[in-house]
Structure 1
Amino acid sequence: RCKELKYGKDLPQISIIFIFVNEALSVILRSVHSAVNHTPAPLLKEIILVDDNSDEEELKAPLEEYVNKRYPGLVKVVRNQKREGLIRARIEGWKAATGQVTGFFDAHVEFTAGWAEPVLSRIQENRKRVILPSIDNIKQDNFEVQRYENSAHGYSWELWCMYISPPKDWWDAGDPSLPIRTPAMIGCSFVVNRKFFGEIGLLDPGMDVYGGENIELGIKVWLCGGSMEVLPCSRVAHIERKKKPYNNNIGFYTKRNALRVAEVWMDDYKWHVYIAWNLPLENPGIDIGDVSERKALRKSLKCKNFQWYLDHVYPEMRRYNNTIAYGELRNNKAKDVCLDQGPQENHTAILYPCHGWGPQLARYTREGFLHLGALGTTTLLPDTRCLVDNGKSRFPQLLDCDKVKSSLHKRWNFIQNGAILNKGTGRCLEVENRGMAGIDLILRSCTGQRWTIKNFIK
């Protein structure tokens, strides 16, 4: 289908922006050659290489000499005086660009012939579209290209991005060449009208390194009058690197950046991000910096609310508004261990030394359900399981809540620093110390043991 499509002659010109830090020179040049070879010359305004303060000598004079000789006047090199991180480095690339359209890419990609025309055509029709070429994979060891299935890009409540199934109306149309509506972007490549990108506040310069900015852009574009789509007819392959230059604690940066997104864009749903990272709502212990400018931007653009976005753009995202308490659950008779989901296949909760990560994220709901494990993502993937007393076993089961027939066997009475009592059986969740043999999590007649959960929502 893609080969049959025809595009206009007067498409806008694109500035292609690559960001690199300590990348192999050969890989950067491969990306540049690929861009030049597979983008029609009349459409390619320029290529901008942003060096985010690399240390490697070959990325200094040798890189500039090569591109100036091979592509005189076509390639600009922008050097950051200190390492800014991917987000702010992309903003520097945008400032240097002069094309009507800007394309942002990692510096380890390969363009497929015919990638540019469908993208530029969609932006020409509507300048408020952010376009994502479909991503294929290049294997790092042998540079073999592996085609990925057509997909949209979603994310979890921690704001980690992931591939998701295209929306139902795309499947129903039965035409695999059609654009795919997407809630957000994976982040390694996106194309946007240069002026429109400036109008909606670019990426958030208050974020550090990377992680979360790709979700912020998706939410913001949809809420503030634009749209985001993946184009199956435009394909750009990306090397999945094993060693990443910014990788010193990317989890920390993503967490901090995610909280900025939550505070600016998510309204009453911002608590989902705090719950997902198992952080208290008050004083989470992370300085997210000043978000007043981003809030003012949202106001000035007269953007919609986050509820609209969940209903219309990301309806498959699971919602957890019924949460009243979350975090690690500890028993007064065993202070150093926490309730834990244990090995998935065993379907029973266990006690395990406390670490506060996903397997120990307990969540107590208004209905009296006690869920255990990381928050779920979309309705097409399994949800967090819940604790059940089936009345027979002395061990608590961990099951898919929707499949448990007896409502009462999955409901628990619990108040902070009180017992956890099953409404169906009257038994309590308790710990049994077996000396050298360890500690068991069991169900039995209540003996007055007390549990505390890390965070209660007032």
Structure 2
Amino acid sequence: EHLPTEVGYDAELQSDPGEHDEHADENNNLGFQIGAPHPPSIEEQQATPDRHCPPGHYSQAELKAALERPPQDPQGPGADGRGYEKNNMTPEEEKEKEKGMTVNCFNQFSSDRISLSRSLGDDTRPPECVERKFRRCPPLPTTSVIIVFHNEAWSTLLRTVYSVLHTSPAALLTEIIMVDDASTAEHLGTRLDEYVKQLKIVKVVRQQERKGLITARLLGARGALGEILTFLDAHCECFHGWLEPLLARIVEEPTAVVSPEITTISLNDFTFNKPVATAKAHNRGNFDWSLSFGWEGIPEHERNKRKDETYPVKTPTFAGGLFSISKEYFEHIGTYDDKMEIWGGENVEMSFRVWQCGGQLEIIPCSVVGHVFRTKSPHTFPKGTEVITRNQVRLAEVWMDDYKHIYYRRNSNAAKMAKEKGFGDISERVNLRERLQCKNFTWYLNTIYPEAFVPDLTPTKFGAIKNSGAQSCLDVGEQNEGGKPLIMYTCHNMGGNQYFEYTSHKELRHNIGKQLCLQANPLPDQVKLELCSLKGLGTSVAPQQEWLVTEVRKHHLDKHAQSLGAFWQTPSRLSCAFY
């Protein structure tokens, strides 16, 4: 029988014949892959009493927080998750605020005046989340929370730590490991070491050289004592009851890599965007063919499988900053690619790897954690942003099979690096894929992310579109994500804003990130870049996005040529070429 407020709901979810029967045998072998029997069904758990844990559900007393929150001023700055911005600031305060924004890319002035132990007010999650009980058998596992930081502001870093302590059951929270990635800020040295001594289960470990997020997380994970590893960023706040649903899901499915529902903390005034009891709309992770992570709404067939908010959301990719994973499974699945550098691409790599090698990525809506989303990074990267390209090439070479060429066509630097083998040794990761008998990328696209639009593996034509008369190229211009006219610009042969594909569906796509198409409009309006009408399953090409390329010495764009020709101020039969 379905018990919506208890651990065990997903036995019914996993048996959905529409999604899982085809791979049932593979899923049933997952337990043996990690050297342990598949977890018993809920019925078996109920029928076989365990002498080591009592029956029934955890009480509130058993799930008492590791550190009681001290009394808070209900009218204080930021109280109950409200934002705080001071009015009528003095010149000195204005200067302090400006400096904080420059150094951290968020309003440090406001953050510094908000309590490190601030309350987030009432529990506003859906009632099934608030009322949910957790069985004692099998027991919820312990966790080590790992927080990596580099030159983080004192108030955001310590508020993250206190938030974990005030909301995590003492019986489940083994430790908080703060990993310093070679910070140079004075307040993060001896002062921090001395401060955390009072917090008992909090410790600081340090990398003496800036090596980045990946290496820092691996350092924290190696010394972790908890059964589950929980990774958080250094500017988070945890909402009521955030930890138990993550741990409970891993009890049910040891190969699940679970993320909380991530909500926003305003970078301007630190308003915590609380969950809404009636909200049913959720996002999941995706990726584009430049291998960047993004968000999208969950499709209807996934929504229909979720009977209430205690059900997980399957996600093709995850943000990678906030998640929990069994330490045993983390090691089994290959931790991180330790030859990736600094930051970038590791979350997409792990997403592909987990799914292709028999695990699953999920978002747990009853677990809510706030995160300060900055619009830009305040930190510089050793070796520049080339490390991100290198990381992405490594993941493409190991996990994407022939689909890697779709990425390379969109990133000329990546294509050059791949051709010259400038991405380092990947033999260990290739061996890992073989040892775990992981599925190919076609399986991932067909089974895990069938909604994805997959560009042609071999487009009819691709590259820049050059006006042979003007010796200039079609260019999308700056920050054109649709709705704007295109421009003509000096040809630079670097792809990017001048990359287009002529597809098998007769579209002219600029699909570096978003799927954008050239769209003809009635004169005198110009040709614009718009969202492609063909988005995948159940969609088709709009007539105004269909173009005809004919071979007459040069590649002529016949259909809609008058519109494009007017834009270029050339004859209606346009002489232009892909090159």
Counterpart mapping for 1:25-424 below 5 A: 25-68=154-197, 70-72=198-200, 74-147=201-274, 150-172=282-304, 173-242=306-375, 244-248=377-381, 251-278=385-412, 281=415, 287-321=422-456, 322-335=458-471, 337-341=472-476, 349-354=486-491, 356=494, 358-366=496-504, 369-375=506-512, 383-386=515-518, 400=532, 402-405=540-543, 410-414=547-551, 418-422=553-557
Give yes or no for the alignment of 1:14 onto 2:143.
Answer: yes
Equivalenced residues, count: 431
Contact 1:387 1:410 in 2 (8 A): no
Q: 1:224-261 CA deviation, whole Å, 9 max, x = no partner?
A: 11101000000111112356344448753332222111
Alignment partners' CA distance in 1, 2:207 and 2:484: 52
Q: 1:150 to 1:283 in 2, by over 3 A?
A: closer
Q: 1:36-69 CA deviation, whole Å, 9 max, x = no partner?
A: 110000100111010000001211111011111x
Alignment partners' CA distance in 2, 1:421 and 1:242: 41
Alignment partners' CA distance in 2, 1:171 and 1:59: 44
- Greater share of strand residues, 1 or 2? 1
Deviates more, 1:105-114 or 1:244-253: 244-253
SS at match of 1:338: strand
Give yes or no for the alignment of 1:451 onto 2:577.
Answer: yes
Alignment partners' CA distance in 2, 1:109 and 1:231: 17
**Identity value in percent:** 34
Q: 1:8 to 1:388 in 2, by over 3 A?
A: same
Residue 281 of structure 1: how far off its partner (Å): 4.4
Q: 1:82-127 CA deviation, whole Å, 9 max, x = no partner?
A: 0011111111111111110001111111111211111111111121
Q: TM-score, normalised by structure 2?
A: 0.68
Residue 282 of structure 1: how far off its partner (Å): 5.8
Alignment partners' CA distance in 1, 2:157 and 2:576: 59
Alignment partners' CA distance in 2, 1:32 and 1:294: 34
Q: 1:324-375 CA deviation, whole Å, 9 max, x = no partner?
A: 432322344434x3112456777765412345464422112345x3514234
Residue 137 of structure 1: how far off its partner (Å): 0.8
Alignment partners' CA distance in 2, 1:155 and 1:38: 32
Alignment partners' CA distance in 1, 2:544 and 2:374: 48
Alignment partners' CA distance in 2, 1:444 and 1:75: 71
Contact 1:176 1:232 in 2 (8 A): yes
Contact 2:142 2:228 in 1 (8 A): yes
Q: 1:346 to 1:222 in 2, by over 3 A?
A: closer
Q: 1:191 to 1:414 in 2, by over 3 A?
A: farther
Residue 177 of structure 1: how far off its partner (Å): 3.0
Q: 1:297-349 CA deviation, whole Å, 9 max, x = no partner?
A: 111110011111111111121111251432322344434x3112456777765
Contact 1:137 1:145 in 2 (8 A): yes
Alignment partners' CA distance in 1, 2:166 and 2:262: 18
Q: 1:441 to 1:420 in 2, by over 3 A?
A: farther
Contact 2:521 2:563 in 1 (8 A): no
Contact 1:119 1:234 in 2 (8 A): yes
Q: 1:32 to 1:269 in 2, by over 3 A?
A: same
2:30: which partner in 1?
A: none
Contact 1:331 1:452 in 2 (8 A): no
Q: TM-score, normalised by structure 1?
A: 0.84
Alignment partners' CA distance in 1, 2:573 and 2:375: 52
CA root-mean-square deviation = 3.1
Alignment partners' CA distance in 1, 2:186 and 2:529: 55
Look up the equivalent residue of 2:316 and give its one-letter code. P
Gaps of 5+ in 2: 1-127, 276-280, 534-539
1:456: which partner in 2?
A: none
SS at match of 1:218: helix
Contact 2:462 2:578 in 1 (8 A): no
